[in-house]
Structure 1
Amino acid sequence: MRPMLIGAPAIEPVALAEAKSWLREDASDEDPLIQALIVSARMTLEAYTRRLFVTQSWRLVYDAWPKSVATASRLIIPFAPFRSVGAIRIYDASGVAKAIEPQSYRASAANDEGRVIFSVTPPAAERGADAIEIDFTVGYGDLANETPEPLRRAILTLVAHWWEKRGDEADDALPSSVLQLAAPFRRRRLS
Structure 2
Amino acid sequence: MPLQLVTPPSEEPVSLWEAKLHLRVDFDEDDMLIASLITAARQAAETLTGRQFTTARWKQVLDCFPGPSQMGVPAGQAFSLPGHAILLFKTPVQSVVSINYLDMGSALQVMPGATYTVDNACEPARITPVYGQIWPVCLPQIGAVSVTFDAGYGSAAQVPEGIKSWIKLRVGSLYAHREEIAVLSRGRVEALPFIDGLLDPYKVAFV
Bin for the TM-score computed over the shorter chain: 0.7 to 0.9
Note the C-alpha offset of 1:188.
3.0
Q: Is the 2:37–2:174 Cα contact (8 Å) retained in structure 1?
A: yes
Structure 2 unaligned blocks of 5 or more: 72-83, 183-190
User: Is 1:104–2:121 an aligned residue pair?
Assistant: no
Superposition TM-score, scaled by structure 2 size: 0.82
Q: Is the 2:63–2:143 Cα contact (8 Å) retained in structure 1?
A: yes
Moved over 4 A (4+): none
Residue 133 of structure 1 aligns with an amino acid whose one-letter code is S
Q: 1:3 to 1:168 in 2, by over 3 A?
A: closer
Deviations 1:68-116 (Å, cap 9, x if unpaired)?
5x34543221321121100001113554211000000111214232111
The equivalent of 2:23 in structure 1 is 23
The equivalent of 1:51 in structure 2 is 51
CA distance in 1, matches of 2:173, 2:17: 17
The equivalent of 2:138 in structure 1 is 125
The equivalent of 2:77 in structure 1 is none
Deviations 1:14-57 (Å, cap 9, x if unpaired)?
00111111111122121111011001101111111222111111
* Number of matched pairs: 185
Note the C-alpha offset of 1:183.
1.6
Q: Is the 1:13–1:147 Cα contact (8 Å) retained in structure 2?
A: yes
Give the alignment partner of residue 144 of structure 1, picking from 130, 133, 156: 156
CA distance in 1, matches of 2:198, 2:43: 15
Q: Is the 1:94–1:127 Cα contact (8 Å) retained in structure 2?
A: no
CA-based RMSD: 1.9
SS of residue paired to 1:67: coil
CA distance in 2, matches of 1:139, 1:13: 11
Structure 1 unaligned blocks of 5 or more: none
The equivalent of 2:91 in structure 1 is 80
Pick the structure with more strand per residue.
1
Pick the structure with more helix per residue.
1
Superposition TM-score, scaled by structure 1 size: 0.88
CA distance in 2, matches of 1:65, 1:9: 28
